[in-house]
Structure 1
Amino acid sequence: MMKRKPAQAFFLLLLPCLLLAQNLQDFEKRVTEFTLPNGLHFIVLERHEAPVVSFHTYVNAGAVDDPGGKTGLAHMFEHMAFKGTRTIGTTNYAEERKALAAIEAAYDRLDSERDRGLRADPKKLQELESGLKAALEKAGAYVDQNAYFRIIEESGGVGLNAGTGEDSTSYYYSLPANRIELWFLMESQRFLTPVFREFYKERDVVREERRMRIESNPQGKLMEMLLAMTFVAHPYRNLPGGWASDIESLRVGDARRFFQTYYVPANITIAIAGDVQPAQVRRLAEKYFAALPKAPAPPELRTVDPPQQGERRAQVVSPSQPLLMAGYKRP
């Protein structure tokens, strides 16, 4: 058996580390970062192996940023981000705008009567509900259904999706490299001039998601109870989908205020990876995203959960197989 010298053995042990360091250096050379004057940050990774580019917009706002009594709002706006703009998703925005305003007026009247509680007039409530239904139908007539998705998919886009977590909301998909400018147009417009069309229809969708994932799902029920028990004060106690009563009372104004507070350039980072040139990305970023108004990043959450004094246990009764969940806090 041939014996290696100590120096040779040391080199063989060190070789994987050297290769890893070399790969990391090569990777870093292909990464470019820049920030627009309005505070929007870009990270660009060149990968020229295939003529494809992937885009990921990271918004530093999630379920923990939902205002009290309005859980599910971050998730609700995620749905709204696919509904289009003043030019995408409508057949006649001038008329649609009037119809959307009529919906809010109808909802204001209905909520005002509902707020009377036991003193509310049942006949008047029925009339107001009929008026709201008519206003919703009128606005719906101007909607160009799924226009945002259709434009992306017809241009070769794949993986178009989004997700809302506890701390962030992400939007992502991929396009052929020769369609990169389309992404800059579409993404900038939905954060510059979003239109909250079909808000109440999507609110019903979000409510149904909760029924399926939590209320009709034993594992979802258990997770909801675990979080509510684990966090006493911190908003981590709330799932991103929100609580049912909060979802059912969300209004367009709530979503608009959330958007204006958290969807500011200083609170957004965009990562682009694929067959691109950094100079091209910077030029297009300045062309399409410079119009986003500069605004300060929202204040950080200050709520701190009190120290846990001991083990906490809870039991959820549900017609299912036995399930056990255990959680451990970490810094």
Structure 2
Amino acid sequence: MPDDSDVSFDDRKARASGWFRQLRDSIVAAFEALEDSQSTGPFAEQPAGRFEVTETRRAAEGEADAGGGLMSVMRGGRVFEKVGVNISTVYGTLGDAAQVSMAARGVPGITDDPRFWASGISLVAHMQNPHTPAVHMNTRMFWTPNAWWFGGGADLNPCIEYDEDTASFHAALKAGCDPHGADLYDRFKAWADEYFYIPHRKRARGVGGIFYDDLNTDDWEADFAFTQDVGRAFLPAFLPVTERRRDTPWTDADKDTQLVHRGLYAEYNLVYDRGTKFGLATGHDPDAVLMSLPPLAKWR
């Protein structure tokens, strides 16, 4: 990663965090509209789900202001059993363990000057209908005095798989990647397949998507534009799948399959997920960090 210590990133930071807020607002509006449009099924007679919004703060020892964000969670909706759409902008000084982790990833100068700034959006949706897949999406920007990078992606997590859904989800993500390089989708799809793998179960968490991290091509504008297009691709990837499956009848056995699959999701997020580890290690609100966990799950 190049040395950007002579570059003022204040404007770039503001643009990135502002974009993540815009993306959050568009997704929240789309999800509430989906709730409003659900007129059939066992939950159609209950009120349409709405997001409960809570401000979050990062608690860092010795730092009066360490940033925070918004936690937006909908529970018990017509379509969504639980969905969280969180944004945060946090900053301060990395602790020793985080410095070691960043140094191991090749971040220059992090032990000499451990200041950092990070902003992003994180989304996880767990659905009422077992035929409608759970989904995860996030995009983020990270800055230190000597480096910057982007990361993110999205992946689909059905408990009952449909080839049509997998194909359309991946096609929408590919459409977001292709304008930025013909090789990006294949690279980041392979990265997702590796990243969202559960070693102790010897299986993937879902049917994949894309994942990337440490993205720095020496062109901040280009990397930011790509990250924006990944975010923009999310709703075209996910909404058609949801609209296709939300009215599919399900059985008790289907619900049982969903709850067991959610157990896999919980295991992955607690044991392997980078975002969970970083958020807890740096003192962010644990309720916001752990909003990705499903409302109900089971294990055999």
Q: TM-score normalised by the shorter chain: which range applies? A: under 0.3
More helix by share: 1
TM-score of the aligned structures, taking structure 2 as reference length: 0.24
| Higher RCO, 1 vs 2 (CA within 8 Å, ≥6 residues apart) | 1
Normalized per residue, which structure has more strand? 2
